Amino acid sequence: MKGSRIKPLVSAITLALALTACGSEETEDKATQGATKPAKAVEQVAAKQADNPFFKPYDTFFGMPDFAKIKEEHYLPAFKEGIKQQRAEIDAIANNTDEPTFANTIEAMEFSGNLVSKVASVFYNLTGADTTDKLQELSKEVSPMLSSLNDDIYLNDKLFQRVKSVYERRNALNLNTAQTRLLENSYKSFTRGGANLNEADKEKLRDLNAQIGKLNLKFGDNLLAETNAFEMVIDNKEDLAGLPDDVIASAANMATKRGHEGKWVFTTSRPSITPFLTYADNRELREKIYKGYIERGNNDNANDNKETLAKIAALRAERAQLMGYKTHADFVLEERTAKTADNVYKLLNRIWPAALAQAKAEAADIQKMIDADGGKFKVAAWDWWYYSDKIRVAKYSFNEQQTRPYFSLENTLKGVFYTANRLYGITVKERTDLPKYNEEVRTWEVYDKNDELMAVFMGDYFIRDSKRGGAWMNSYRQQYNMNGVDSKPIIVNVLNYPRPAEGEPALLTFDEASTLFHEFGHALHGMLSKVNYRSQAGTSVPRDYVEFPSQVMENWMTQPEVLAQFAKHYKTGEVIPQELVNKIQAASKFNQGFATVEYMAATLLDLDWHTLTDTKPQDAAAFETASVKKMGLIGEIAPRYRSTYFSHIFAGGYSAGYYSYIWSDILGADAFEAFKENGIFDKATAEAFMGTVLSQGGSEDPMKLYKEFRGKEAGIEPLLRSRGLLAQ
């Protein structure tokens, strides 16, 4: 996912871990925990459950969530009942007097928690894609309930002893690969969840989890408030000089929506700020919106995030040390393919010198253009996009706006589906009558190469205030085949494209179209999954591996054979001229010093925060300044995410893991070499990639699967070459 991404919700056993280390404060109604209720009260509860869509199978096509019937008041009762049910299921497993076996302990846990998972899959999808004030408030109540459930499972000593008993006999159980991995991951989930701690330390862990969970939510709420609060209102048309017509039209629509009729509004959302920084001639306004973006959460107001993030980092360090790890990064990376922070630093340090040198050369080129234009100022961060685009135009006679007419959303979707069909035999059929959570959502039936219905795919493409920023894939139901249930996936892609003017098509830049291919790569990972266990389905893989299939998918968009199928002028139908394609390819390595350094600076900042051993909160501003100075970042570039709005690591699941994008990009660049060697639509290569990567999910060691596909470990050279960072 580009920007940010929700980790797919899996079985309720791992649910709370997937929900960003929620707190453990107990908020469940004590009356639901075993007390005897009067008959009338029981009847009232039964009546309420009968009206709640979560308490019965969805009476819809493909068992899709019945969005029209699901109301805000349904979530809390369903969560409470789901938690109650799973507690009972877990108690039954823990108190089973039969000898612990893989079936009655490990699989029994895997099969538990169906109701809470069902509710959570809808709730957390909507809090990201179509939230309301009520859902935001509910998340504060629900998250500690789920974390408490998680703690009660993984700190249950009787349950752990059963798991441990099975684990210690694992070599004699004749388990297959997926079963062995499920057993090993179950055991590690307990040990990493504090099962080996004494009672006092278990209580300490609960308290730390609760504090961190509350602070995670606070960080996210503060950032959302800061992002929504900023608007740059322009009432002088001359201040729009340089901006493309479609960007101006989008700003006018935003102004109308925000009550500034007849004016233009720009916000800190990427589709708004990026074109403004790239094309607006007014340097003062570029500076204003840039600073509005990078100072989010750093304004010493009620939504300031400095103290919050410093506490999160300190508490994470304390929790890691309680668990026997030196740092939070050591704790996290044990479960990633990178394994250690040292390995990540070593990788980044192989790339950083070449990227930084290239970025400095790019900055020098920008300064030359400023000087040549008679500018009396030194290049600043808010100048980079503007002047680099001018250099791109001068050097390649190309800017991204030239690509918009050829990448309508409709045509790009056709290109995505065409590519999936050629590679994996997938076909799609759009449906307009299926359940949806917002009228803008589009839905397709997805058929496999044997014309069997294999999935439902949902697409949600336009910006709205109820949607968080970024682009991501998630699932409303994952693929699995367990306990007699053959579950087929319901997958969603969520993006944030500017909404076109009434009656006009949505036109994408080349980069925006590439994001569509990227996110559909995640979708394919979810839809082509063929595993038995829900916790191993699709994208349920290590964080630093999950971006790999999506990074690979981006490569097909740039291939002439694919472009000829979909990159057509929205008015004339003319295929994108080869001359423009040549310019796109020639310019693809342009400004890669900036792009790589901007990203890697955020990655290094993340690692610095999470390799802290000091359990006292740091001065956030001073810490970031020291981190940036240590890495040698030039002043013309800021980290892609500064600490106070780095939601990936302080409100999401990427703490000590933001490096994952470049780690996966290395795999992606290397893997696509196999397709280039054998033919981009070579059936044998596609079948091998689907069989060893896309279909296996987390059922096997991902790096073993990669080597099985590629026949070797991934090399770094294809990535450096693709970014123009490898000496010729």
Containing 447, the helix (H) or strand (E) segment is strand 442-447
Answer positive or negative: Cα dihedral of 219, 225, 227, 232: negative
Q: Is 360 helix (H, G, I), strand (E, B) or coil?
A: helix
- 66 touches 53 (CB < 8 A): yes
CB-count burial class (<10 Å; 0-12, 13-18, 19+) for 375: middle
β-bridge mates for residue 481, sequence order: 486
**107, 519, 554, 700: the active-site residue:** 519
What is the Cα–Cα distance from 670 to 718, expressed in whole angstroms? 6
- Closest residue by Cα to residue 294 from 271, 257, 268: 268
| Bridge partners, 575 (sequence order) | 568
Tell me, rounded to whole angstroms, the distance of Cα 129 from its chain centroid. 12
Helices (H), 30-71: 39-51
Round to whole Å and give the CA distance between 242 and 107.
Answer: 61
Pairing of strands 453-462, 442-447: antiparallel
C-alpha span between 455 and 525 (Å, rounded): 12
d(CA 230, CA 643): 18
Termini Cα distance of the chain = 31
Q: Which residue has the tokens 């020291």?
A: 626
Q: Do 25 and 144 contact (CB within 8 A), yes or no?
A: yes
The rounded radius of gyration (Å) of the Cα atoms in the chain is 26
- 427-431 and 442-447 strand pairing: antiparallel
Per DSSP, what are the bridge partners of residue 445?
A: 429, 456
Q: Is 519 a catalytic residue?
A: yes
- Counting every residue written for the chain, the total comes to 728
Q: Distance (Å, rounded) from C-alpha 289 to C-alpha 272?
A: 10
Q: Which residues are identified as catalytic? A: 519
